[in-house]
Amino acid sequence: MNTFAWRLTLAATALMALVMGSRSAFGLFVSPLNTATGIGLAGISLAAAIAQLGLGFGQPLVGRLAESHGATRVIRAGAWLLAGSTAAVVLADSAALLALVLCAGALAGAAVGSNALLVGEIGRRLPEAQRGLAIGIVGAGGSAGQLLLSPATQWTIDAHGWVVAMLATALLLLLAWPLAGAFRGTAPAADTAPARADAATLRDALLQARFWRIAVAFGVCGFHIGFLSMHMPGVIERCGLPASLSGTWLAVLGAANIAGSIGVGFALRRWQPAPLLVGLFTVRAVSVAALLVLPPTADVLLGFAVVAGLSYMAVLPPISQLLGRHFGVQRLGTLFGIVMLVHQVGSFAGIWLGGWAAATTGSDRLLWQVDIALAMLAVALLWPRGVAAMPSSFRAAVPPLRTACGQARTWIRRAAARVRCRPAAAPPRPGAPIPDFSGARP
């Protein structure tokens, strides 16, 4: 990438690190906030889930404002609002007030470092050859912020209390103001998608099944990320492990996601986005299934953090590539904002249902099972496109695999039919003597 591409990418990465790092660290405040206010886990979870919906509804608007008035103005206005709303959390003493403050912070976070804003700007200003790697680096920025801010936030809470930690986070978010200057006065990329596709995007995208398949799959990602970022500290405590492990777990998750996001960015140079998404959602389902089977030790949970981190934000580059290829890049900010709305609906469900299930049943098994089912739903939504876009060497293996699966299914059906048709016991022949077992030993 050239100098301009690196400058834009690094500024977007830093903004993503600030917003996602502070958002991910909010789970560390849940327990002390509940102790100080008595709102309750279910009330805090509902307030945070409502804020996720506010973030989702705000992203299409933010993408549209950035396209019309420039990203610099939007980011700088959002920086002040985000810092103020973060500091105001210490004053929230009820679920309603907490929901209001968190909604304001979510809208401000969308204006500072949302996927709709940053991915839309990179998609419009960088050529396609550089876009996948740049978006992968930006996605890794969210994990870098999580890697740095989670342990620092945990240490500040332990050493100085949660109020000081929250105010320090608010001051840190003001760094978004100077970073906004990197988005000023730049021109869009020269090799954008055809104008016809861009003109038809906003009018026709909502009527296309392809768009909604992508959006729903990204909504499944929102469910997974929302539950992990909000409730993993509680999951760790319910497993009987020390609360200090939560900061380490989030840091390991962030470190693994840096490798996953950048690795997917490089992989997009050779692979099509749909099969990559199929693989990422499959990894999620397998990792959660393994977590349910293995004993809940510290080593197992940290291993799960590594595997889950590899696919945590890695779906972002292929999702944006699918949208850009099918619907153009001139309105990518608005389109990605709509997709992010679906993502945040999934995040709402993951956060709210996670808190409700933990408070009602005292266990997280139900949510893990739902997470596995949703990941397989995303695979089903993306799989037809994934097979069509696979490299020829992999695509050639699909028909034999289908044939083998069909033969196995036929064999299982025949075996089941023989078992159902087999009599329970052979009837005695007419006139045959009936054996006497009266003297048999028990």
C-alpha span between 422 and 165 (Å, rounded) = 70
Q: What pLDDT is recorded for position 240? A: 83
With bands split at pLDDT 50, 70 and 90, how would you rate the model's confidence at 203?
Answer: low
Instruction: With CA atoms as reference, report the closest residue to 128 among 288, 269, 302, 256.
Output: 269
Would the pLDDT of 272 be above 50? yes
Q: Average the pLDDT over each of 25-34, 141-150, 428-437 and give the range with the smallest value.
A: 428-437
Q: Average the pLDDT over each of 49-53, 197-201, 238-242, 328-332 and give the range with the smallest value.
A: 197-201
Q: What is the mean pLDDT of the chain?
A: 77
Q: Average the pLDDT over each of 6-15, 277-286, 391-400 and give the range with the smallest value.
A: 391-400
What is the mean pLDDT of the segment spanning 128-150?
78
* Residues making up the chain, counted from first to last: 442
Q: What pLDDT is recorded for position 172? A: 92
Q: What pLDDT is recorded for position 131? A: 75
pTM, to two decimals? 0.64
Give per-residue pLDDT as tens, 347-406. Answer: 888 888 887 877 787 777 888 888 899 999 999 888 754 444 444 444 444 454 455 445
Would the pLDDT of 31 be above 60? yes
DSSP 21-49: HHHHGGGGGHHHHHHHH---HHHHHHHHH
Give per-residue pLDDT as tens, 207-227. Answer: 777 888 888 998 998 899 888
C-alpha span between 300 and 432 (Å, rounded) = 63
